[in-house]
Amino acid sequence: MKNYPKDNLDDALVNTIAPVLEEEMYSEKNLEKASKAALGISKWCRAIVGYHGAMKIVVPKKIELAAAKESSAAA
Protein backbone atom coordinates (compact mmCIF):
# COMPACT_ATOMS: atom_id res chain seq x y z
CA MET A 1 0.00 0.00 0.00
CA LYS A 2 2.98 2.29 0.53
CA ASN A 3 3.87 2.10 -3.16
CA TYR A 4 0.32 2.42 -4.50
CA PRO A 5 0.22 4.93 -7.39
CA LYS A 6 -2.20 7.33 -5.69
CA ASP A 7 -1.57 10.07 -8.25
CA ASN A 8 -2.69 7.83 -11.14
CA LEU A 9 -5.97 6.64 -9.68
CA ASP A 10 -8.66 5.85 -12.24
CA ASP A 11 -11.96 7.73 -11.84
CA ALA A 12 -13.90 4.54 -12.59
CA LEU A 13 -12.20 2.79 -9.67
CA VAL A 14 -13.02 5.65 -7.30
CA ASN A 15 -16.63 5.73 -8.51
CA THR A 16 -16.86 2.00 -7.85
CA ILE A 17 -15.26 1.95 -4.40
CA ALA A 18 -16.73 5.16 -2.90
CA PRO A 19 -20.31 3.81 -2.54
CA VAL A 20 -18.98 0.60 -1.00
CA LEU A 21 -17.14 2.58 1.66
CA GLU A 22 -20.38 4.37 2.55
CA GLU A 23 -22.30 1.15 3.23
CA GLU A 24 -23.20 0.43 6.86
CA MET A 25 -21.46 -2.93 6.66
CA TYR A 26 -18.16 -1.10 6.06
CA SER A 27 -18.56 1.48 8.79
CA GLU A 28 -15.56 1.96 11.07
CA LYS A 29 -17.63 0.75 14.01
CA ASN A 30 -18.44 -2.57 12.31
CA LEU A 31 -14.96 -3.07 10.91
CA GLU A 32 -13.38 -2.41 14.30
CA LYS A 33 -15.41 -5.29 15.72
CA ALA A 34 -14.50 -7.58 12.81
CA SER A 35 -10.79 -6.96 12.38
CA LYS A 36 -8.21 -4.30 13.16
CA ALA A 37 -6.55 -5.05 9.82
CA ALA A 38 -9.84 -4.51 7.97
CA LEU A 39 -10.31 -1.24 9.83
CA GLY A 40 -6.84 -0.07 8.85
CA ILE A 41 -7.35 -0.98 5.20
CA SER A 42 -10.72 0.76 5.23
CA LYS A 43 -9.16 3.94 6.62
CA TRP A 44 -6.47 3.78 3.95
CA CYS A 45 -9.09 3.35 1.20
CA ARG A 46 -11.09 6.29 2.53
CA ALA A 47 -7.94 8.42 2.62
CA ILE A 48 -7.02 7.49 -0.96
CA VAL A 49 -10.53 8.33 -2.20
CA GLY A 50 -10.37 11.65 -0.32
CA TYR A 51 -6.92 12.38 -1.74
CA HIS A 52 -8.22 11.70 -5.24
CA GLY A 53 -11.06 14.17 -4.72
CA ALA A 54 -8.72 16.82 -3.36
CA MET A 55 -6.29 16.41 -6.26
CA LYS A 56 -9.13 17.02 -8.74
CA ILE A 57 -9.28 20.52 -7.25
CA VAL A 58 -5.57 21.13 -6.56
CA VAL A 59 -4.03 19.98 -9.86
CA PRO A 60 -5.94 22.45 -12.08
CA LYS A 61 -5.06 25.24 -9.66
CA LYS A 62 -1.38 24.29 -9.84
CA ILE A 63 -1.57 24.44 -13.62
CA GLU A 64 -3.22 27.87 -13.45
CA LEU A 65 -0.55 29.08 -11.02
CA ALA A 66 2.25 27.89 -13.28
CA ALA A 67 0.65 29.64 -16.25
CA ALA A 68 0.23 32.85 -14.24
CA LYS A 69 3.86 32.74 -13.09
CA GLU A 70 5.00 32.17 -16.66
CA SER A 71 2.84 35.04 -17.88
CA SER A 72 4.10 37.43 -15.20
CA ALA A 73 7.73 36.44 -15.87
CA ALA A 74 7.23 37.21 -19.57
CA ALA A 75 5.75 40.61 -18.71
For residue 7, give every residue at least 6 positions away whose Cβ sits within 8 Å of its Cβ, in sequence order, or none: 55
11 pLDDT tier (thresholds 50, 70, 90): very high
64/67 Cα distance (integer angstroms): 5
Residue-wise pLDDT tens digits, 22-45: 999 999 999 999 999 999 999 999
State pTM to two decimals: 0.79
Residue 8 DSSP class: G
With beta carbons less than 8 A apart as the criterion, state whether 1 and 48 touch.
Answer: no
